[in-house]
Structure 1
Amino acid sequence: MAERKVLSKYYPPDFDPSAIERSSRRSRTGGNEPKLSASRLMTPFSMKCTHCGEYIPKGRKFNARKETLEERYLSVQIFRFYIRCTRCSGEITFRTDPKNNDYQCERGAKRNFEVWRDNTDEKYNDETEEQTLDRLEKQHGEKEEQMERDKMAELEDKMLDSKREMKVADALDEIRTRNARIERKEAGGANAALATVQDEINEETLRAEREAAADAEAIRKEFQAKKRAAQDAARVATFEEALNRPVDPDFWKPRKRPAPRDPFGLRKSKPRLG
């Protein structure tokens, strides 16, 4: 492997470069093979090599040989491409298919199954140009009718798009407002911080005043309750003392009633002597 990379090669003394026969691929086959041009391409479809079973994905790049065929389709030139398998170097050939707007695999590989392809394309291979035009016109007419029937669906899609745009605009306005508020806060700097601290101090003072007022009210209610209890205890003691006091024996004796008063001087007064 190292000998392949050296800059100078060994040539024997009797080496004659003019004695080497210059042969080409065309001279090997007798000159009947068509002229091929080199081109760089990507595989137009996924395929499987029939020689070794290697899977070649769609889009892999190859150094291919391009052949221009004499065959044409509606004055469209057809090309054939030759590539080699990346595993076994087996030759794979495929050509353009302008009739079906696709490519056609010829030999050396097998095209993989593609779900998205229409299986009904094979039945249109034998139809004439007029039949193809009629079929395409009919399909186009059906498509136009379907589009006319779908006007309401299109209108609904437009309404949904407009609603989506309005939501996006509202979201952008909200973002702009938030950014402006943040910029104002950043511009205020110390003033905003001082205002925040002052608000916290005011809230703390107000909370302390409320707590002090609540404590004073609780003390007042407790004092009133104790005072009421003392007054009730004094009344009970007075009532018990009155019940336990000894009864006066003269309390039940009849008392002499005082003479009734004579406010109008009707009672006879005694004459005064002398």
Structure 2
Amino acid sequence: MQGFNMGRYIPPDQEGTTSGNQIHKKGPPGALRKDGTQTVRFEMPFATWCHHCRPHAIIGQGVRFNAKKKKVGYYHSTPIWSFRIKHVTCGGAIEIRTDPQNTAYVVVEGGKARDYGEEKVREGEGGVPILSEAERERRREDAFARLEGKVEEKEVGVGNAKRVEDLYRASERDWEDPWGANRRMRTAFRRERKVRKREEEKVGALKERLGTEMEILGESEGDARRARLVDFAADQGDGDAAAAGDVFERRAPSRVTATSSPRNPATLKESRAEALRQRLVGNTRAAMNPFGKDL
């Protein structure tokens, strides 16, 4: 757009003769200032707790900030860099510095690195451990420790290579014939849908036959075992009573009270359900196993 340069306004009469940064007395991003600082894009190397937030909030690994970068010292000949960021949620400042001695980052102000409970810091997911200076010195002086370290790194490398091969094979298998995989999935879905539809029709017919609107659950193995323990009506010498359905002691059906209206559909439905329940309870007895096991 005419009149703008890198997001800064330039008057038309000065366009082409100067820059927006010079007019507004701003330096370009990343330019080194006179005090030795510069603004860089910094990415959080690990999850960090912000101590300025109340309660303390966590900043996830990989979140990016505009940080003020400054050299604050040396470790032998390696410079130590400081990155000072501003947490946009609370406005608090957090300072993170490089640690060349341990090849890591440390939080020196405004927060604390999240503790993952790991004994050794590892480079990458499933990578080799990052050794401290003492561990490196021990491996230099001790041949057995150096050999054990090489064996451990080799095992990690072999495991990672096998994992990568498995991922490649799984990807090739899944994408070898996507049309066939989609067809198999749709066929299984149609089959299951037909089974569910038949079950719903069976349950609907059972509700209509019993004259109830109660929810009927599907059959389970426990229901089948309990059904085998029920004894329905052995003949007790009264053939007429068995034929009439009076297998056990007849119970008087519950009567509709005078306050309830027999013409009310809800009352009739409840009465039928209660009469059915009493009839089933009166005509049913549980078979007893003398050995204490399910039949």
TM-score (normalised: structure 2): 0.34
From the CA coordinates, give the structure whose radius of gyration is larger. 1
Q: What TM-score results when the alignment is normalised by the length of structure 1?
A: 0.37
Considering fraction of residues, name the structure with more helix: 1
